[in-house]
Structure 1
């Protein structure tokens, strides 16, 4: 029997297997929910995106959901101050104060876009073909989705430290940015530090404003357990690791792919950066929006199975856009 989903923070981070209908690929989601508004409402209610019930402010009665009007209604009668029976006509949209409020997209199209956007193969062309949406609408809703993912990443990326005694952490830096006239010179960029534990495969990505020794040392202390073996390249800022409670191995990428002496290499973190750069195929990106793209990359690489992403996204949406009365 299917159980109700919980929207607690622990469940958002641990991703419990308590929901069946939201573990679907895009094709299965369309086949399951197309034209079935009652199933879509039930899906959102179980994840906390919509109210599951509402109390009438006039007569304190339980409102019913009118699927035709997509609203909570109360038609109960009550005694007025003149002892006459009056019918309560309370009426409010089920979308008021939620993720769907003020949306020009219908609920079905909205959720289909979210599922499509969460796929690794998402593109503007795919959204235009599948959902018949203009480019401006696709850009706007992609931005809204990145806001939700960014709120999730701020909680999940700061959750736990990686590494520990007898564990190895690869550490590397990368710069993302737009290019002028498609040439190599980067006009505006966003620096980010990343690390991955070889033993547990846990990783982190942190965008930073300044790429210097103090920033790096703060990230190492915050994200990596003392006693870890840290592998990095020969960038001079990584010398700060030597002064802390960490073992350090280095490899010079300009000379060797793998250090012939100690066997150090940082190919795992470089693969993570390649996955992030694949989201930035359009090179003219503003620096202010880079954090959202980094969060999206972190989310998609953290949840490899794309069929499980909707469950997590809906829980994050219920916290970022909690239903308000």
Structure 2
């Protein structure tokens, strides 16, 4: 067995109750397949045993094996004849899991995933050289990771923010607006993003929408913001509908001032949030399918800022997105 960090062994003895592993500890973990397997089983992304699909026997994974095998012997008697039938059920332990369909070893997949989660903006060259995989493999597994994050983001219950005495800053942006018209008469697909941030708690919501109208705006505000909240926004015409509902609104004309001269209103926090989102999304991610994945990645990283704990929360998200077969 390869040399394993003692802190990793202690963690596996205690079971996972919210693990935190730095790069060195995780590297030590993936060097030992028994410890890595136990780590993934504890997080609910791999099975240590399963039922035979033919005879219903409980199967355990043999050491150094990638398959659940059933060799149960069934004896039946008919008149004076005895018939012995051995079950030949066989199934890969990757079947039905997040790792299924890949030729990579689980250890290498975990290395790629950890580096993707730990780095602020993952460099494909760095992951490629350390995991000894191709550029296409890095791109594929980065996409698979974003799919898990998107599933987490859709299922994450943000809850309503704001309330009486609270201030929420609003922002809406068109992230898919084409800079130039296509010579063939086609334009890129447009995508709107609407978001808000509560000043006291810094709780946020960011929602991608196809079209941002006054009607869709009010639907999202009623879903994510509590009545009686003080809203601050720019002078965009779509926000004018807020005055007709149970919200107090202040606005600032950003083309002239950063702070409202009469009200002192400003949208500095939401503007900073939007800058962070744009800075962490490459230009190639501005098409609708890619942008939603990059947005989910940004929200996941913001929700779990400690890179040592991201692998734990990511595996819990994998567990929900890819429930294990029974």
Shorter-chain TM-score bucket reads 0.7 to 0.9
What 5-or-longer segments of structure 1 have no aligned partner? 6-17
Give, in angstroms, the shift of residue 280 of structure 1: 2.1
Higher relative contact order (CA 8 A, sep 6+): 1
TM-score by length of 2: 0.84
Alignment of 1:221 onto 2:226: no
Corresponding residue for residue 160 of structure 2: 161
Classify 1:134/1:179 alpha carbon distance in 2 versus 1 (closer, same or farther; 3 Å): farther
Give, in angstroms, the shift of residue 212 of structure 1: 1.7
SS, match of residue 155 in structure 2: helix
TM-score by length of 1: 0.85
Alignment of 1:30 onto 2:31: no
Is 2:167–2:232's contact at 8 Å kept on the other side of the alignment? yes
Corresponding residue for residue 149 of structure 2: 149
Query: What do the CA deviations read for 1:15-72 (whole angstroms, capped 9, x no partner)?
Result: xxx222xx223343113x1321112221221222112321234554432212312222
Corresponding residue for residue 44 of structure 1: 40
Distance 2:298 2:165 in 1: 29
Classify 1:312/1:284 alpha carbon distance in 2 versus 1 (closer, same or farther; 3 Å): closer
Which is worse superposed, 251-260 or 231-240?
251-260
Classify 1:284/1:58 alpha carbon distance in 2 versus 1 (closer, same or farther; 3 Å): closer
SS, match of residue 304 in structure 1: coil
Classify 1:167/1:180 alpha carbon distance in 2 versus 1 (closer, same or farther; 3 Å): closer
Corresponding residue for residue 100 of structure 2: 101
Distance 2:155 2:247 in 1: 26
Distance 1:180 1:30 in 2: 45
Is 1:160–1:223's contact at 8 Å kept on the other side of the alignment? yes
Corresponding residue for residue 8 of structure 2: none
Give, in angstroms, the shift of residue 80 of structure 1: 4.3
Is 1:64–1:74's contact at 8 Å kept on the other side of the alignment? no
Classify 1:284/1:47 alpha carbon distance in 2 versus 1 (closer, same or farther; 3 Å): closer
Classify 1:277/1:260 alpha carbon distance in 2 versus 1 (closer, same or farther; 3 Å): same
Distance 2:111 2:279 in 1: 23
Distance 1:83 1:260 in 2: 96
Classify 1:68/1:126 alpha carbon distance in 2 versus 1 (closer, same or farther; 3 Å): same
Is 1:3–1:19's contact at 8 Å kept on the other side of the alignment? no
Query: What do the CA deviations read for 1:83-140 (whole angstroms, capped 9, x no partner)?
Result: 5666655432111111111112110111111111113131212222221221211121
Classify 1:256/1:98 alpha carbon distance in 2 versus 1 (closer, same or farther; 3 Å): same
Query: What do the CA deviations read for 1:247-272 (whole angstroms, capped 9, x no partner)?
Result: 11111211122223322211211222
Is 1:178–1:283's contact at 8 Å kept on the other side of the alignment? no
Cα-Cα RMSD: 2.5
Larger radius of gyration: 2
Distance 1:319 1:243 in 2: 41
What 5-or-longer segments of structure 2 have no aligned partner? 1-10, 181-186
Distance 1:284 1:162 in 2: 29
Give, in angstroms, the shift of residue 284 of structure 1: 6.3
Task: From 28, 41, 56, give the equivalent of 2:52.
Answer: 56
Count of residues in correspondence between the two structures = 305
Distance 1:250 1:45 in 2: 52
Corresponding residue for residue 200 of structure 1: 201
SS, match of residue 66 in structure 1: coil
Is 1:193–1:205's contact at 8 Å kept on the other side of the alignment? yes
Give, in angstroms, the shift of residue 206 of structure 1: 0.1
